[in-house]
């Protein structure tokens, strides 16, 4: 990769909040930023404001994620960074058109699908000496998550306003990134693709706007219960930046601190492999 050639950085969930801020900060660093969002108007507005390129995809639809991956693969020979930031909390249990619980699909299943489909372009970045890095937004909520391979969609588990599903989705992100790191590690002279998961902190954005708990917290604090989007985006930008990460691939960051606290299940290599295989089956990809 030429030193003068800008990196290609794909940021999902970039039409607002910390994703939009991260996209702007990476563009300021000279990166060629691909802005991915669900809302066409907001996504295009963010892209235009930072000199990026807009792509619209709803992560509640596998067909749109597949189309996005195919379009990006055709347009870019190599992708240096994939910043998986799409997702959120769905407080009312909702199934997608694909038949999966919306929180699980948008936070985990669709990012898994996109990552797997774009992996050849990230491996090409590694071959060229590029950054070759995947950064996925998780949450401290992973600590109360639970992975049930027979019921990822919470069809027979308590809902609790979507928080259990959200925590489980974010635990799935940590497990996925750790298995990804194992599978894409450098070996026999072949450069690898690094992966990291990160909790950006408690951030006041449109996140969880449908949750009664979030609305209550916003009302009683005047919207001051968490950090700004600018503060929340900082760990994402740091991990996506063209500089070494002070941790081995697969590590979970609690903001800028490596090896943050995770659920005990996150350290289970058998669960990491089993979840990868089960998810591959769900999204119709080979293990």
Is 166 one of the annotated active-site residues of the chain?
A: yes
Residue 238, phi-psi category: left (phi > 0), alpha (psi -120 to 50), beta (remainder): alpha
Give the integer Cα–Cα distance in Å for 199 and 202: 9
SS3 assignment for the chain: CCCCCCCEEEECCCCCHHHHHHHHHHHHCCCEEEEEECCHHHHHHHHHHHCCEEEECCCCCHHHHHHHHHHHHHHCCCCCEEEECCCCCCCCCCECCCCCEHHHHHHHHHHHHHHHHHHHHHHHHHHCCCCCEEEEECCHHHHHCCCCCCCCCCCCCCCHHHHHHHHHHHHHHHHHHHHHHHHCCCECCECCCEEEEEECCCECCCCCCCCHHHHHHHHHHCCCCCECHHHHHHHHHHHHCCCCCCCCCCCEEECCEECCCCCHHHHCHHHHHHHHHHHHHHCCCCC
Which CA distances in Å does 243 have to 29, 54, 132, 224, 249? 12, 25, 11, 32, 14
Catalytic residue among 76, 108, 112, 166: 166
N-term to C-term CA, the chain: 30
Q: Which residues are catalytic?
A: 166
């Amino acid at each position: 990769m030429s030193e003068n050639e800008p990196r290609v950085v794909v940021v999902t969930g970039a039409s607002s909040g910390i994703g939009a801020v991260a996209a702007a900060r990476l563009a300021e660093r000279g990166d060629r930023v691909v802005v991915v969002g669900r809302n066409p108007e907001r996504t295009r507005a963010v892209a235009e404001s930072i000199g990026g390129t807009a792509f619209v995809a709803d992560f509640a639809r596998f067909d749109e994620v597949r189309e996005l991956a195919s379009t990006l693969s055709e347009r870019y020979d190599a992708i240096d960074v994939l910043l998986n930031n799409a997702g959120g909390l769905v407080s009312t249990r909702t199934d997608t058109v694909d038949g999966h619980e919306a929180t699980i699909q948008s936070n985990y299943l669709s990012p898994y699908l996109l990552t797997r489909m774009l992996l050849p372009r990230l491996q090409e970045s590694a071959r060229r000496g590029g950054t070759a890095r995947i950064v996925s937004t998780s949450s401290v909520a992973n600590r109360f998550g639970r992975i049930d391979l027979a019921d990822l969609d919470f069809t027979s588990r308590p809902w609790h306003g979507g928080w259990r599903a959200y925590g489980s989705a974010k635990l799935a992100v940590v497990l996925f990134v750790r298995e990804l790191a194992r599978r894409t590690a450098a070996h026999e002279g072949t450069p690898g693709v690094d992966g990291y998961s990160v909790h950006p902190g408690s951030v006041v954005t449109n996140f969880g706007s449908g949750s009664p708990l979030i609305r209550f917290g916003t009302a009683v604090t005047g919207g001051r219960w968490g950090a700004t989007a600018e503060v929340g985006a900082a760990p994402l930008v740091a991990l996506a930046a063209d500089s070494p990460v002070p941790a081995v691939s697969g590590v979970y960051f609690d903001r800028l601190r490596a090896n943050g606290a995770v659920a005990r299940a996150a350290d289970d290599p058998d669960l990491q492999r089993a979840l990868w295989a089960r998810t591959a089956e769900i999204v119709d990809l080979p293990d």
